[in-house]
Copies of this chain bind each other. A is one copy, B any other.
Amino acid sequence: MSDGRKTAACLAVGSELLGERRLDSNSLTITRALARHGVVVEEKRVVGDSVGLMAAAIRELLGRHDLVVVTGGLGPTADDVTREAVALALDRELEPSAEVEGWIRDRYARLGRRMPEICTGMARVVPGSRPLHNDRGSAPGLMVEVGESLLAVFPGVPWEMEEMLERDLLPVVARWNPGVARISRTLLLGGVVESDTEEKIRHLYEQFGRENVTILAHYGVLRLVLSFEGESSAATRRVDTMEAAFREVLGDDVAGVDVDSLAEVVLEKLRGRQETLATAESCTGGLVSAHLTDVPGASDVFLGGVVSYSNEAKETMLGVAPELLLEHGAVSEEVARAMAEGARERLGADWGIGVTGVAGPSGGTEEKPVGLVHWAVAGPGGLWTKQRVFLGDRAIIREWSLNAALDLLRRRLTADPL
């Protein structure tokens, strides 16, 4: 708190978050929301359903941060002890609240059910706190000022948590730095590796501040988050300037701005051209079409695809000539081309994508090692192919292949504007 910047901590509560499979992801939502208002999450914690550990954590965090956001443990069962822990940390005694009990009874009434007796536990409040209504569930939240700091306590269910975060907490946080905002913009890059991009943009770090640029790499897709904190319109202008400078250097590597995926970019470009797409997949086994159809409204553009996991499927479903398979093998530039062309023709689409490769872990040879992938795009104006040996396990090789194939189409659509 010393440099005048407000800091926050997230505390997630629940023994299931200390197991072998689940992670607390509410903190990502909270971090993102607070960042918009210039508040930085400096610390995260997870504790189980223990009043003592939770109270100790709340006390420590309130001593260090302007804001502490606790999620989880507000339900009606015996292992929901967050309310008790907050009371203990603040050295207060929980009191029943007729108003809050009314909220819970109303909710059950709307559902046409009687409120179970166990729910009265949720109607006890920490004296001096503001109870928060839960429009999306039954467990109320709470906010309370403790000395110079603010403690906010929300349910662990993301859908319920998000409502209270937006409705109750963010308006308060927005008043802390009036007019100050952190404006962020994300450039999505395709067909690149991190070190090459770093090399290209390094000189811009100095100009705009290393802390204002974050790179997130994911197997051929790279997200470059540009951000700036300040008075809202000045920060927006600064980010505009950053975007222009980065685009200048990165050129066609930039697939889109504030978009989720290469699939979204490709579908949007095709939609604008009123053109359609079909896929033919071997080593990616359906991942390319699964990613395309993950985007709502994909059916405008995407007609369908073939997963040709056997040579017979390549021949019968895509019309790949048996001689090509015999002469060059299933993993070859020739077969990738024939697959892209086959998808295009058989499904009557303007564009076709073909991917074939050795995803491993077995099936590699000296000539065609695990990780060798050929991909091709067939369109109204011609046929393009690429190949590479990707390093990694089966899942990673498939992920690289998916992104590489979508990016080749993306670059062809950019290079050939209508």
Residues in A lying within 8 Å of B, measured CB to CB: 16-25, 27-28, 31-32, 35, 40-48, 50, 53, 56-57, 60, 64, 214, 216, 225, 279, 281, 284-290, 292-294, 296-299, 302-310, 312-313, 316-317, 346-348, 359-362, 394-395, 398
Q: Is the CB of A285 within 8 A of B298?
A: yes
Q: Which residue of B lies closest to A360 (CB)?
A: B296
Q: Which residue of B lies closest to A44 (CB)?
A: B46
Q: Is the CB of A304 within 8 A of B310?
A: yes
Q: Is the CB of B35 within 8 A of A20?
A: yes
Complex-state Cα separation, A290 to B283, whole angstroms: 10
Q: Which residues of B contact A289 (CB under 8 A)?
A: 285-286, 307, 309
A362 touches which of B297, B303, B394 (Cβ 8 Å): B297
Chain B: minimal CB distance from A66 (Å): 15
Among A35, A44, A294, chain B packs the most CB atoms within 10 A around the CB of A44
Chain B: minimal CB distance from A157 (Å): 14
Q: Is the CB of A290 within 8 A of B294?
A: no
Q: Which residue of B lies closest to A285 (CB)?
A: B293
Q: Is the CB of B286 within 8 A of A307?
A: yes
Complex-state Cα separation, A225 to B19, whole angstroms: 11
Chain B: minimal CB distance from A215 (Å): 10
Complex-state Cα separation, A317 to B348, whole angstroms: 11
Among A56, A284, A303, chain B packs the most CB atoms within 10 A around the CB of A303
Q: Which residue of B lies closest to A288 (CB)?
A: B286
Chain B: minimal CB distance from A316 (Å): 7
Complex-state Cα separation, A281 to B60, whole angstroms: 53
If A28-B21, A35-B20 touch, whether A309 touches B302 (CB-CB below 8 Å) is yes
Among A214, A289, A299, A398, chain B packs the most CB atoms within 10 A around the CB of A289
Q: Which 7 A-B pairs have the closest CB atoms?
A: A285-B293, A286-B289, A286-B286, A304-B313, A286-B290, A44-B46, A305-B307
Complex-state Cα separation, A325 to B43, whole angstroms: 56
Q: Which residue of B lies closest to A347 (CB)?
A: B313
Complex-state Cα separation, A289 to B348, whole angstroms: 22
Q: Which residues of B contact A361 (CB under 8 A)?
A: 296
If A47-B42, A53-B43, A285-B292 touch, whether A304 touches B298 (CB-CB below 8 Å) is no
Chain B: minimal CB distance from A106 (Å): 23
Chain B: minimal CB distance from A91 (Å): 20
Complex-state Cα separation, A398 to B286, whole angstroms: 14
Q: Which residue of B lies closest to A57 (CB)?
A: B43
Chain B: minimal CB distance from A274 (Å): 15
Complex-state Cα separation, A27 to B40, whole angstroms: 23
Q: Is the CB of A309 within 8 A of B293?
A: yes
Q: Is the CB of B317 within 8 A of A306?
A: yes
Complex-state Cα separation, A23 to B398, whole angstroms: 23
